[in-house]
Amino acid sequence: MNTKLLPLALGGLAIGTTEFVMMGLLPSIAQDFRVTIPEVGYVISAYALGVVIGAPLLTVLGRGLAPKRLLVLLMLLFTVFNTLSAFAPNNTVLFFTRLLAGLPHGAFFGVGSVVASRLAEKGKQAQAIATMFAGLTIANLLTVPLGTYLGQHYSWRYALGGVGGVGVLTLLAVHFFLPVLPVQQTGSWQAELGLFKRAETWLIILLTAIGTGGMFCWVSYIAPLMTEVSHFPASYVPYIMMLVGLGMFVGNIIGGKLADRFSPLTAAITLLLAMAGTLLTIYFASANQVLSLGLTFLAGSCALALAAPIQILMIQSSKGAEMLGASITQAAFNMGNALGAFLGGLPIALGYGYTSPALVGVGLALVGAAFAYVLMKVSRQQPVESPVSVMIGH
């Protein structure tokens, strides 16, 4: 592992913890605030909405800053608002503090992805980005289960307060250990926003937002799925979240290697189809505890394996606006988060049970794969020097 990337991985740990720990805390928060689980699920959507708003906005506003300074400022915002979330007196206040906490998420990962690719050896850019996302996988393996345990046995507030502590450590690591890189500006911010005029940009956004929404349909309601359908005791949920994290850890490595060995687009299509198949099996087989655990690992693997391929896909197709492009991808991931949490909650509210979100997820993953296929067709029609065309080998 490139040690220069460790501060970015620590940032991934902080961000991954706050994003995914909420899934295991839903029952505790609902009980504390005396609201339903689907109502608390909207808090997950609030965080994702913050990412969608903040990713392009903060990246454009900070485009004149050196990457290291921008990362410090973003992590400072992240730390402050996550700490405030731990003191929310009701679900409405928590909704807004989570919205604000999400603002720097996408920009941090977007800027960090470009920094990682600039620090990487030639031909290993996707694996360098995967190193940053390794922090997110470790979060799901260690700190998310720990936060879930704290939420079940003590208070969910301790979990979010702990995120603030990890944010402080990240601030120090970025300040003292991340190399200084020069500002790379190739034009005005208006020129960078021209990225939104490209068909490839919108196809990547759609395949990311809709495709990964399938995974969030499942993981947003994993706690009640495991307790009510698979009939695991509530005390097992932290360990099940560790299994999700282990799957993400393995999948993240595989995704980075697939993207560097073959192509980001081929990897994305393959992984979205694998996700659809896994979620469909979850819908039918979750009542079996052994199968449920195995499928939990597989779904976690498919979920984060997509991160590096999609991120490098956008970076390589956003020449001249790489940081904006990378941040937009993070916004799209969290559109998927919001979409999955919302759509996954609808059938539950209608009384269809806790397996129903997985079936909704199947449809979203297949639609995402369809958009990826369209992107491949569009890319084949582009001139040979097109970034996307070169990237997929045409």
Q: Which residue has the higher pLDDT, 205 or 118?
A: 205
pLDDT value of residue 218: 92
Least confident of 88-97, 128-137, 177-186: 177-186
pLDDT value of residue 384: 41
pLDDT value of residue 390: 37
pLDDT at 107 over 50: yes
186 secondary structure, DSSP code: -
pLDDT in tens, 181-209: 776 655 566 666 777 888 888 999 999 99
Rank 114-128, 226-240, 285-299 by mean pLDDT and report only the highest. 285-299
Q: Which residue has the higher pLDDT, 126 or 214?
A: 214
Tally of structural domains, the chain: 1
pLDDT band at 387 (very low <50, low <70, confident <90, very high): very low
State the CATH number of the domain containing residue 76.
Answer: 1.20.1250.20
pLDDT value of residue 257: 84
What CA–CA distance (Å, rounded) separates 336 from 360?
13
DSSP string computed for 353-378: -TTHHHHHHHHHHHHHHHHHHHHHHH
Whether the Cβ atoms of residue 295 and residue 19 lie closer than 8 Å to each other: no
Whether the Cβ atoms of residue 301 and residue 247 lie closer than 8 Å to each other: yes
Whether the Cβ atoms of residue 327 and residue 109 lie closer than 8 Å to each other: yes
pLDDT at 287 over 70: yes
The b/e string for 235-255 (b: 16+ C-beta within 10 A; e otherwise) is ebbbebbbbbbbbbbbbbbbb
pLDDT at 245 over 70: yes
Tokens of 364: 């979203």
Tokens of 365: 């993953």
H helix intervals, the chain: 6-33, 37-61, 67-85, 91-119, 125-138, 144-153, 156-177, 189-192, 199-219, 222-224, 237-261, 264-285, 289-305, 307-316, 322-349, 356-380, 387-392
pLDDT value of residue 219: 87
pLDDT at 173 over 80: yes
Least confident of 242-256, 269-283, 310-324, 340-354: 310-324
Per-residue pLDDT, averaged over 74-97, amounts to: 92
Q: What is the mean pLDDT of the chain?
A: 85
pLDDT band at 392 (very low <50, low <70, confident <90, very high): very low
What CA–CA distance (Å, rounded) separates 123 from 130?
13
Per-residue pLDDT, averaged over 266-284, amounts to: 94
pLDDT at 333 over 80: yes
pLDDT value of residue 188: 62
pLDDT value of residue 214: 92
pLDDT band at 312 (very low <50, low <70, confident <90, very high): confident
pLDDT in tens, 29-61: 888 888 887 788 788 878 878 888 898 888 888
Nearest to 201 by CA among 390, 394, 393, 388: 388
Nearest to 90 by CA among 48, 140, 123, 43: 43
Q: Give the residue numbers spanning the domain of 85.
A: 3-392
pLDDT value of residue 184: 65
